[in-house]
Amino acid sequence: MTPAVEVRDVRKRYGSLDALDGVSLRVEPGEFFALLGPNGAGKTTLISALGGLVRPDSGVLRVMGHDVAADYRAARNALGIVPQEIVFDPFFSVRETLELQSGYFGLRGNGPWIDELLERLALGPKSGANMRSLSGGMKRRVMVAQALVHRPPVIVLDEPTAGVDVELRQTLWAFVRELNAAGHAIVLTTHYLEEAQQLCSRIAMMKAGRIVALDQTARLLAAFSERVLRVKFAGCELPASLTAGATRAADGAWRLPVEGAAQVEMALARLREAGARIEHLEVAEPELEEVFVKIMANAGEATRAPA
Amino acid sequence: MSAGFRTLLWKEVLRFWKVSVQTVAAPVLSALLFLVIFSHALASHVEAYPGVGYTQFLVPGLAMMSMLQNAFANSSSSIIQSKLTGNIVFILLPPLTPGDIFGAYLLASVVRGLAVGAGVFAVTFLLVPLPVANPLWVFAFALVGSALLGALGIVAGIWAEKFDQIAAFQNFVVMPLTFLAGVFYSVKTLPPFWQAASHLNPFFYAIDGFRYGFFGQSDVPPATSLAIATGTLCALSWLTLRLLRSGYKLRS
């Protein structure tokens, strides 16, 4: 099957900075894909290269099989990008903005879809308002609608929820999930790792222009994070049978790795047998944040190592 | 003509039309002020062509000057504004070709130029009735002159990184070239050196040929002027298209 996005050994240098240092990845049609990394990792440069805003020094980028340079018209028709910065044209109203954007993609009579976008992004009451008069969150919604006017099979959201309120986040994710269910491939960058963990089936992590991890979300979580039982107790020491992998936090609570409910029960049974009085207890699920921190730290060592 | 081109043209026309007090009425008023002041101060001194009073001589020059300056302002200010506010991405991300982008900005500049030119004639008509010897020449030079400056405006808009640079381009290139192109005088009245220098200025041919359309008299044969102005336009268009294709300062 033709990948939704194909990136092969893409390099881009700005002076002495390798913004993209040999990046390769594939996003399949209908996939929900996260592109994560600290600021300056090269995420936005990669997205810009996909949209033709940045010209890579070498490498291949394709959207739905169309080369973004040689076959740029077909590639851009297949791609909808929501840029990270809030930008707008102050001369126009919300509806005019969307009508113009439709026209740039060669679409006429796009009214019904524009109406639907306005409704789904809760912009209906603002459709006649000038862009200048909208709040930041509202402008962000218009940018999402602009990226979707031509119903692109590949949708790229570059930090769409940075600084937006809970309501928009929920409206947005409900809509994006629906688009994904309808077959659109979604590529998301975000600093809110819990969003990526909940939404995305696969994750790439970038650092210093390179991909440092690329796998299914579940596999990354299993490899780098674990479910732990956090328990604080008094009346005895930690039984020897539970010490494997256990760590103790500053407040005296123990973190015990547990795989499933059975192990939780077993650990509690051992504690009771040892005469522990349990003061506090919680089961913490694996977190992408932990995965992210570990991978970035490892990648840091790798970068420092001599080549 | 692709739908994308038509939409971008429509957007560019709307952009200036929505603020037409500033983009059309203001330059018409400036031209009117120039006319009143210069004709009052100089009317008794100069007769540019036999049988053509100075005030009459002045009107087409002022109209063309306004058209040139506003055609330049239209494309240059639109592009620099889009670049600075960042909304240029909405034009760079769709599948518009360099030709679509060039054509739309150029034609919108021509529309603004013609609107301003028509405005100048509309308000001066009652004060200074003009003959129109050859309306086709009038129209041809209006078109080519506006297009020439529209293209120059696109180049300036692409090249500039801030408003000051556009202003500098306007003040140090466009203004001197228009003022020294024979708006206020016939270059035949100049000393030989300055006459020769004027003939190196492409704007001079736009104004001289435009004037021919009204009075049937000019310093240079109108066909020559049209050929030179059109040739300059073609060269500039080629350069602009090359810039757009290369992504110079638009796609890093």
DSSP, res A155: E
Tens of pLDDT, residue by residue over B133-163, are 999 999 999 999 999 999 999 999 999 999 9
Residue B6 contacts A where some CB pair is shorter than 8 Å: yes
- How does DSSP assign B115-177, residue by residue? HHHHHHHHHHTTTS----S-HHHHHHHHHHHHHHHHHHHHHHHHH-SSHHHHHHHIIIIIHHH
Q: Which two tokens stand for residue B5?
A: 């081109």
Q: Under an 8 A CB cutoff, do A107 and B91 touch?
A: no
pLDDT at B45: 63
Q: In a 3-state reduction of DSSP, which class is residue A33? A: strand
Inform me whether the pLDDT recorded for A163 exceeds 80. Answer: no
CB-CB under 8 Å, B97 with A106: no
pLDDT reported for residue A301: 58
**How much is the ipTM here?**
0.90
pLDDT for B46 = 65
Residue A305 has pLDDT above 80, yes or no: no
**Cβ contact, residue pair A81, B93, below 8 Å:** yes
The rounded mean pLDDT for chain A is: 90
Which range marks the domain in which residue B128 is found?
Answer: 3-246
A170-193 as b/e: b if 16+ CB within 10 A: ebbbebbeebbeeebbbbbbbeeb
The CATH number of A5-78+152-222, from 3.40.50.300, 3.40.605.10, 2.60.40.10, 3.40.50.261, is 3.40.50.300
For A210-261, how does the pLDDT look when each residue is reduced to its tens digit (9 = 90+)?
999 899 888 888 888 778 888 999 888 888 888 888 888 888 889 888 887 8
A9 sits in which H/E element:
strand A5-14
Chain A contact probe: residue of B1, B7, B13, B96 with most A CBs at under 10 A? B7
Residues from A in contact with B at Cβ < 8 Å:
48, 51-55, 72-74, 76-77, 79, 81, 83, 85, 87-92, 96, 100-108, 146, 150
Q: State the average pLDDT over residues B87-99.
A: 96
Considering the domain boundaries, does residue B107 fall inside one? Answer: yes
CB-based contact B149:B174 (threshold 8 Å): yes
B251 within domain boundaries: no
Residue from B175, B173, B191 nearest B183 by CA: B175
**For residue A124, what is the DSSP state?**
G
Q: Has residue B252 been placed in a domain? A: no
Does the pLDDT value for residue B132 go beyond 70? yes
Q: How many domains does chain B have?
A: 1
Which chain B residue has its CA at the smallest distance from A74's CA? B95
* SS3 assignment, position A27: strand
Neighbouring CB atoms inside 10 A of A209's CB total 22
Residue B154 in any domain: the answer is yes
Q: Are A78 and A115 in contact (CB under 8 A)?
A: no
- Are the Cβ atoms of A89 and B87 closer than 8 angstroms? yes
Tokens of B49: 């062509």
Q: Report the share of chain B in percent with pLDDT over 90.
A: 78
Asked if B79 has any chain A CB less than 8 Å from its own CB, the reply is no
Amino acid at A211: I
CA distance B114 to B64: 9
Say which of B10, B86, B247 has its CB closest to residue A55: B247
